[in-house]
Chain A
Amino acid sequence: MTEQRFAAGFLFPGGLWLLAFFLVPLGILLAISFGYTDDLGNALYGWHPENYERVFDPVFVPVLLRSIGFALATVALCVLIGYPVAYYIAVFGGRRKSALIALVVLPFFVNYLVRTYAWIAILGDDGLVNGTFDTQIRFLNTPWAVIGGLTYGYLAFMILPIYAALDRMDPALIEAGKDLYGRPWLTFRHVTFPHTFQGVLAGAVLVFLPAVGDFVSAQLLGGPDEYMVGNLIQQQFFAAENWPFGAALTTIMMLFLLVWMVLYLRSAAREAQEVTA
């Protein structure tokens, strides 16, 4: 048996599983998106492409734009906070590198909801911060609270790829860079950052895509003006019992995210080819 055929056999179990339990459900979702609901709230199949027209109703455009905006802000914050931390651990962590990275990841294993409610206790108007410093700062129910919540939730996804990229980098490169450029900042700009750019990009994708569809942060930490597309979708599935419209919204959102993912994959593939060339 050739290696090709041997290895190809390996593709079947996982591939079939994903087909059956991931693609097929998405297909059903797609079919439902053209359907309608009856009096009992059941979703039925039909041909109602107007569900898709409704997605682009001007009323929803701000919601869509806002979601993208919040997600982008989250990515930016994650990079600004995550890169220095990843750099410190990768370059100065020494023997404690693994432990430090484990510490970064650890909080994400406390239940997401419990963590968010803890933040409410800390930042609330009568919470720890306002209580201890005797201030009246209103943290919650603001756009920044939502972005903060999102950042807190996805920071690990940015730190890990950047750390991996930094760690893989040959320290000799940095040395050479310093000889060439002298100043730390220039070295960073011309040597370190370009070499870790793929890591930053990977992190950006891993943060941006889920953040767009997030609903928990906006629901718990936001005000009425922080309504995101994730909340809109959740509302259709849970409160309004309008699964067809929820499915249409979901399909559009997934298509949007897929475009970015494909672009990223192409860029990563090109980068891989350049490195090996």
Chain B
Amino acid sequence: MLDGELNRRELLRGGAGLAVGVGLAGCGVGDTGGGSKAAVEKPIKKKVDGDLVYFNWAEYIDPDLIKGFEKLHGVKVRESNFDSMPAMMSKLRAGIAYDVIFPSAEFAQRLISGNKLRKIDRSKLDNTDLVYSQFQEPWYDKGSEHTTPYTMYATGLGYRDDKVSGLTGSWTDLQSADSGGRNFMLDDFQEGIGMANLVKGYELNTTDSDELEKSLGYLKGVKPKLRGISSDPITNMTSGSAWLHHLWNGDVVNIRNQVDNPEDFKFQKNEEGIPVGSDTFAIPTNAKHPGTALLFIEYMLQPEIAARNVEWIGYPMPYEGGATEAFAGLVKDDPEIEVTVDDLANGQQFENLKGDGRVAWDETWTEFKAS
């Protein structure tokens, strides 16, 4: 009955199944190429043309605002979430037709160069002039034709003021400050390698192999002094595992909402450099309801709506008026948490790495994690 005998013949037959798979793979049709220019340029009529298929990080929008949008235009919002940019990309590559997606700046650039995002005529949107001037001609989207900025954030060190001492305002505080051994680095290859690059005085996005090697050396030196490498800064700090954490400024706001002693949680921007990033929202070329998506973008730009969103997600949105005031209100006791105009001007931004550069960064990070 339970035949454990595996002779050559049977192994071959089992292998036949695998061979079919390999063969099929050869004639597979994956979505590997770029989109067409025509699909990108086609103008979008600003009107309701169906339900909104929405794809974003989880907990990254006030759910009441979704309900509000649904009521306002009489549509449904079908939400799904990704938990990393590569996860978003693999779903996009699988051909799913979302109406509005939220790529980070570097990934927006990738999508634009692959003709995957539709052109948006911003002049048709109300309140579009409220968007910060720094984002009118962003490096990742010339003319800001395809994307609208959603949030902006700065990376720094979050810490417990009542527990940590010896901070000097440098990235090296992560391992040098007295944090009782409760320190964490972000599990993010860009943030990790970027931080090392800044400490060593290199360009944030350098792909020079010598420099990367030295940064890897630096990271390897930091590793033994860390308690963990994690992308759950909120859980780590609220559970007490972390007193010092490499994180984004919005995380501090969220942590404060969940603890009994919010005033003890602070954010430090570091002198070697402040990585500034932004998330955008955009309409993919294969969107089935681009009109509704356009209405959604316009909806989020409204000052009162943006203000409520800022208060809920804890991250600043780069629009004048309501949004800016809302965030200032959230962090009035700790302006350090703000992303100021200076930061936007001087802070370094992560670029979209290509080809060998990207491979070099991947390998550096993989080696760091495994060492």
Are A and B direct contacts in the complex by CB distance below 8 Å?
yes
Contact with B along A205-222 (1 / 0, CB 8 A): 000000000000001101
Q: Known contacts A124-B239, A127-B240, A222-B228: does B366 contact A232 (CB below 8 Å)?
A: yes
Q: In the bound complex, what is the Cα–Cα distance between A44 and B31 (angstroms)?
A: 10
Q: How large is the interface on A (under 10, 10 to 19, 20 to 34, 35 or more residues)?
A: 35 or more
Contact (Cβ within 8 A) A265 B2: yes
If A45-B25, A235-B366, A239-B84 touch, whether A223 touches B226 (CB-CB below 8 Å) is yes
Question: Is B240 touching A224 in the complex (CB atoms < 8 A)?
Answer: no
**How far apart are the CA atoms of A117 and B34 in the complex, in Å?**
41
Q: Produce 1/0 per residue, A161-196, CB < 8 A to B.
A: 000000000000000000000000000000000000
Residue B200 lies at the interface, judged by CB distance under 8 Å to chain A: no
State which of A124, A130, A240 has its C-beta within 8 Å of the C-beta of B189: A240
In whole angstroms, how far apart are the Cα atoms of A219 and B230 in the complex?
8
Among the 9-residue stretches B51-59, B86-94, B134-142, the one with 4 or more Cβ atoms under 8 Å from chain A is: B86-94
Contact A266-B4, Cβ < 8 Å, known A42-B32, A60-B370, A224-B229: yes
Which residues of B in the span 205-236 have a Cβ within 8 Å of any Cβ on A? 223, 226-230, 232, 235
Q: Tell me which of A39, A141, A224 contacts B355 (CB under 8 A).
A: A39
CB-based A-B contact count at 8 angstroms: 145
For window 88-110 of chain B, which residues contact chain A by CB distance below 8 Å? Answer: 89-90, 93, 110
CA of A235 to CA of B355, assembled, Å: 19
Q: Apart from A24-B20, A27-B21, A272-B1, what 20 extra A-B contacts exist at CB < 8 Å?
A: A23-B14, A23-B20, A27-B18, A28-B21, A30-B18, A30-B22, A40-B110, A45-B26, A59-B371, A120-B241, A125-B240, A223-B228, A223-B229, A224-B369, A227-B369, A236-B366, A239-B365, A241-B89, A241-B362, A262-B6
A28 to B358, CA, bound (A): 25
Contact of A24 among B21, B30, B362, B365 (CB under 8 A): B21
Contacts of B365 in A (CB 8 A): 239-240
Closest CB-CB distance, B350 to chain A, in whole Å? 14
Let me know if A124 and B20 touch, CB within 8 A: no
What mask results when residues 1 to 42 of chain B are scored 1 for a CB within 8 Å of chain A, else 0? 111111000000010011111111110101010100000000
> Residue of B at shortest CB range from A66?
B370
Known: A19-B20, A125-B240, A227-B369. A44 touches B4 (CB 8 A): no
Task: Select which of B2, B30, B84 is within 8 A of A42 by beta carbon.
Answer: B30
Contact with B along A34-56 (1 / 0, CB 8 A): 00001111101100000000000
Which residues of chain A come closer than 8 Å to B245, judged between CB atoms?
none
- Is B269 close to A, CB under 8 A? no
Provide 29 A-B residue pairs closer than 8 Å at the C-beta atoms, listed in order of the A residue. Answer: A23-B18, A23-B20, A24-B24, A27-B25, A30-B18, A31-B21, A38-B32, A39-B110, A39-B355, A40-B110, A44-B32, A45-B25, A59-B367, A62-B370, A120-B241, A125-B239, A126-B240, A141-B241, A220-B232, A224-B229, A231-B369, A232-B369, A239-B365, A240-B189, A240-B362, A242-B362, A262-B6, A265-B2, A269-B2
- Say whether B354 faces chain A, with CB atoms less than 8 Å apart: yes
CA A224 – CA B34 in complex, angstroms? 38
Is B308 an interface residue when CB atoms closer than 8 A count as contact? no
Residue among A27, A124, A265 making CB contact with B4, cutoff 8 Å: A265
With both chains docked as a complex, state the minimum distance between the C-beta of B295 and any C-beta of chain A, in angstroms.
29
B86 and A28: CB pair below 8 A?
no
> Which residues of A sit under 8 angstroms from B188, Cβ to Cβ?
239
Instruction: Tell me the bound Cα distance from A63 to B30 in angstroms.
Output: 32
Does A32 touch B at the CB level, under 8 Å? yes
Residues of A near any B CB (own CB < 8 A): 19, 23-32, 38-42, 44-45, 59-60, 62-63, 117, 120-121, 124-127, 130, 138, 140-141, 219-220, 222-224, 227, 231-232, 235-242, 262, 265-270, 272
Q: How close is B36's CB to chain A, nearest CB, in angstroms?
A: 15
Contact A42 B93 (CB under 8 A): yes
Is A27 touching B241 in the complex (CB atoms < 8 A)?
A: no
Residue B143 at the chain A interface, CB threshold 8 Å:
no
How distant is the Cα of A267 from the Cα of B240 in the complex, in angstroms? 48
B118 at the interface (CB under 8 A from A): no
* B114 interfacial by beta-carbon distance below 8 Å: yes
A271 to B: closest C-beta gap in Å: 9
* Pairwise interchain contact A238-B25, C-beta atoms closer than 8 A: no
When the two chains form their complex, are residues B228 and A141 in contact, meaning their CB atoms are under 8 A apart?
A: yes
B182 contacts which chain A residues (CB < 8 A)?
Answer: 125
Distance between A15 CB and nearest chain B CB, rounded to angstroms: 9
Contact A224 to B4, CB < 8 A, known contacts A24-B17, A26-B18: no
Known: A26-B18, A27-B25. A41 touches B30 (CB 8 A): no
Please state if B2 and A141 are interface contacts (CB–CB under 8 Å): no
Please determine whether A241 and B86 come into contact, CB atoms closer than 8 angstroms. Answer: yes
- Whether B19 and A223, one on each chain, are in contact in the complex, defined by CB atoms closer than 8 angstroms, is no
Tell me the bound Cα distance from A242 to B367 in angstroms. Answer: 14
Contact A23 B17 (CB under 8 A): yes
Contacts of A124 in B (CB 8 A): 239-241
Distance to closest chain A CB from B109 (angstroms): 11
Residues of chain A within 8 A of B1, CB atoms compared = 272
Given contacts A27-B20, A28-B25, contact A140 B4 (CB under 8 A): no
Q: How many whole Å from B371's CB to the nearest CB in chain A?
A: 6
